[in-house]
Structure 1
Amino acid sequence: MPHRTIPRPSQPPRSVERVKPSLLFPLQEPPQPLEYPALPCPPRDRDFTSAYTITTHIIPAAFPRVSQFVPLPPVPEHETRDERSARVERYASEFLALQTQHAPDKSEPQPTVLWSVLNRYVRADTSSGTGLTLLLLHANGLHKETFEPTLRHLFEAMDNEKRYQIDEIWALDAVQHGDSGLVNAQNLGSLFIWHDHARDILNFILHFLPEEVTHSGLPTNLPRVPPEASEARKRLGFASRKLVVIGHSIGGCAAALAAYSVPTPFSGLILVDPVIRPTLIVGTHRIQQYVIGALSRRSVWQSRDEAHSLLSKSPFFGSWDPDVLRSYVEYALVEDASGQVRLKCTNLLRIQEAVVFADGTRGIEAWSTLPYLDEGISVKWLVPPSETSVLGSYEMMQETIWSRPENASNSLISTATHLVSPDLVTRI
């Protein structure tokens, strides 16, 4: 497959100010006792492949939340095309304004317990205990199962090339996406600060990821590890795991913020065209267009068959790998009481996707963290050509990727776009 690497810049980087970000707001144990919700979707067949089984689990998300709860705006049942267009423009402006009013360093934490849903894929033969543990973080508007076509490619490459072994994979739904979005539906508002996604990542890694990989079953409600184990992970990392986090788009940004804040548990980061960029190429107008686009897209269909048929004909979704699109129709949608299917990430048009887009400044923070990432964490960048990358121009992409040159590598995939096809991640 056509690919190449991006060399280090021959000229000194441009003078773009980097302000070393503050560490993330500390995690606390939520008040006890907790009443765990049920998983929102029926269990799947445990046999993901001949060598891996799949189960789904739930944990309390990071507590407390730095994203203040702001009630969702009303959505009229009936409105004209012009009224809808005006409402979308108004909501976009309101969501952007909320970000300036409720920055993490200006707000009191919100003591609401949200929930994180994860898939676990575990290898049948883990007796050696020498393989990798992967944590997968999806892009905005997607879901944890988005990676499943990629995993099948990874497993095939692993068996063919014998270069590495993956013992266990965890895939996390962001709190407003996929099954997490269904569980948290009543507690999601008009504001989301990406810091909380980074804190959700650390919450799982520090407090709920089991100490060792075993093939034995785990409870649906994952127990919290003992406090001494969490403290040991903060100080020393894992004794029996080699954890590599793969983050796509917002997932890559949140992964970088998490690894900067608590580096020791991370062995490696694989950043798949992450939203990590300087102030120079971020503009409010561009973010507003993302928000408007999310609010304007269709979110309800008569059936999964109709959804697949219509999405496959659209210029955007139709360009996806067919397996990824089928996964989207199967796992990003849920049947409602009327028999229709809608996106899991919202019950009011695509408001939650738009709310996530509205926070464009965390990518700037993540860009500023790059020179300070612990050199013991290997960093691999997987990026498309600059014209389709969120990293900006080739020069800015080059500067960003080499901001921390130690223990770093990259692949530029000439056939890719921001929404990469599943076989591209075999470049890890």
Structure 2
Amino acid sequence: MSPAEQEWGRALRKVPGASASVFPELNHPNWAAIVTHSALGLRELFEQFQRGVAADVIKDLPTDKPIEPVLTAAYKAGETVLQLSNTASVKQGDLLEVRVPVVAPESRSPKFSLLEELGQTNDLLDASTGEPPTVTANDLVGEDAKFKQLEIDLNSPCDPQPGVTLPWQKEVDAISQKLQEIRSYKTCLLEVEAVLNNRQVQIAPTYFNIPSGVEIARAKTEREIPAATFLHHVGLDWQVLVEGQSISYRDYKKKIVLQQQGMDLDADGEVTIDGVRLKNTMPSSAYEIFLKGLEAELAAVEVEVPQCDRVVRLDKAKLELQARYRAQVRSLVNELFGQRGLIKDGASGRSLVERPVELLAAAIARVQEKGHEPSFANNSALLHSAAFGYIKEQTSRGWSEHTCESHYRDAVNLARRFVMQLREQLQWRSWR
């Protein structure tokens, strides 16, 4: 990994300790300056975080979730092979989690009836005749009524009256519903002993049946994250803005320490005293000992960076620089349309597209060499494309690839040369 990626990881990792108390505290392990591209869309997320909004935009983005295998054939207890829809995401040693629906037969005790009980018993025999007595419903109506009344009395404390809600009834119903969901499924873990092919895996036989169509997922194992120990920032240096100039924090720190001792740093980073380089005034061995002592002192001392009201936005400054010089190039091109009789049908016409001069024909050829079909809407589109294409051809850099202001000044001069040559070709054609 590159040092920058390591720095990101250490900045985002959970490091024990207090947060930074001073901004910027450049040596604090929980603080880092990170520059990202605007296309990542992190600005809105950071602004929500600063307002205290619990946002997790990245987590909510749609991701390509791997398709979980599905049991294509029912599994019977004791078998050693599972038939799956695919085994691409399964390997030997994986634990497969299966949620098997449980269909419990509904058992309900019959309601007690004294009439039925006495009708089925043979204990009541007539002593004189040896025949069972004849019992009618009219004879037992009174006894059966007593048992019914007893049944009502026993059930009444548990059955509330209609419209009456018992305390904690909602909680009881929620618990009952959750228990019903838990009991309706049985979660089982199956260990994969071998992947036979793209449809079959071998498992240790189990004692229950699994119906087809059940989705099988890899079991999630909780892994404890070890506590991170911060060592140091890895090879990256900070750039701080002091008195309008960007300077390395290491050089700034060295400069401050030397100034406290009556010394300074020159433009080449050499230690000086009254403008004279120190290494020219002492033996090389003594100078090396001095530098080692200076490094030890820099490692022990802390230097506070002065606060600056300005915010450095290199991306914004680069875009403003590009826009300013792009406008100059466009202005040079638009001056051609303002000259009377040079381009008779003006910027909206198509005379230059249909009958291009040498420079414009070269611009059209450049487009064709890239494998694109030239489709310029009018003279203006062709001229602007030709001007910027000429700059890219001469500098071997695209418009956004120029790195400093001198590059853009050179690009404008190239555009001026292109416009002058194009004017000569247009004037020569009009004279003919």
TM-score, reference length from structure 2: 0.17
Q: Which has the higher contact order (CA 8 A, sep 6+)?
A: 1
**Which one has the bigger strand percentage?**
1
TM-score, reference length from structure 1: 0.17
